[in-house]
Amino acid sequence: MTIQVLDDVIVPNCVIMAGVAGRQTRQNDRTSNQGGYASANVVRDATMREYAIGIKPMPLNYWSEIEGLYEITDAGAFGMLLEDPKDSVVTVADSGLQGYMSGVEFGAPGFGNGTPLYGLRQFKKAASSTRTRARTVTRPNGTPLLFRGGAPVTLGTAAGNAALSAGPVYATFVPDATRTVTAVAVGASTQVTLSSSIGVLVGGRLWLQGIAGADAALLNGRSHTVTALTGAVYTLATNTTGKTITAAGQGHKYPQPDEALTWAGSFYVPVQFADDNMDWDLVRPGDLDDRLVSGPTINLIEIREA
């Protein structure tokens, strides 16, 4: 069963301040031959985070917070949220939105792709290079700020606005414009005629939905690259030769590939207890108010959310 994250259960700051250790993990299949030449195949290319809490002696009231988390989450049957003590803030300079189409990532991170749905990303960079990797962020702390071409995006229902889902959090844009599809001509490239120009240029992407016909799935719920434009007739780089598609539905304009999509805010990491058992050690006995407890093997592991 997929782990459900309890977004109202947050690891308290007192537990983090008492001491925490961690590591980031990947999975590579590494080999080395007798000549010392090494090779590696990437098995898991997503970096996952692990945290060891309770490793330093803490007062009983701090320790009781850990026990509460353990009980409320059924020892890891449910997830919770943790603020990474070294990495929990994203700025516009190291962020982007990643588009989705047909349920999978689509387009360049940090730019529009003519689709409505986007996930939050944090970019990791090397100072000596222009290379970047995009880390998925699904649990912002509060409401993140969205930016389109550097301008703030309003959360609402008007054209060009966006809405944020409940966790895991995604942004869904309201179309900038909508037009009725009045004609469809199938072929090696597809021509779609709209009721009037929608503002998508050559090289941009037009979103289509509600088109009819046995093969309409080739066009519906997708954005398509515009290769030519005459008035309100859009030529798309989508091959529909011999297919049955008839005019119906709408064309929509969503953020385009030349528009930067960024965000800013703080975020949590969804985690769960790694083990069913929780060890503890009374490292300083004595009167109740003087006792200190540590948990040498309490590990939290990141939950990867789609």
Q: Are 192 and 209 in contact (CB under 8 A)?
A: no
In tens, the pLDDT along 250-276 reads: 999 999 999 999 999 999 999 999 999
Map tokens 């528009």 to a residue: 259
pLDDT: which is higher, 306 or 15: 15
Q: Are 193 and 186 in contact (CB under 8 A)?
A: no
E strand map for 186-304: 190-194, 205-209, 222-230, 233-236, 250-253, 261-267, 269-273, 281-284, 292-294, 298-302
* pLDDT score for 289: 86
Q: How far apart are CA 225 and CA 1, in angstroms?
A: 38
* pLDDT score for 240: 97
* pLDDT score for 286: 87
Count of CB atoms within 10 A of residue 304's CB? 12
Find, among 161, 185, 183, the residue nearest to 251 by Cα: 183
In tens, the pLDDT along 167-213 reads: 899 999 999 999 999 999 999 999 999 999 999 999 999 999 999 99
* pLDDT score for 306: 75
Q: What is the dihedral of CA 190, 191, 194, 197, to 10 degrees?
A: 110
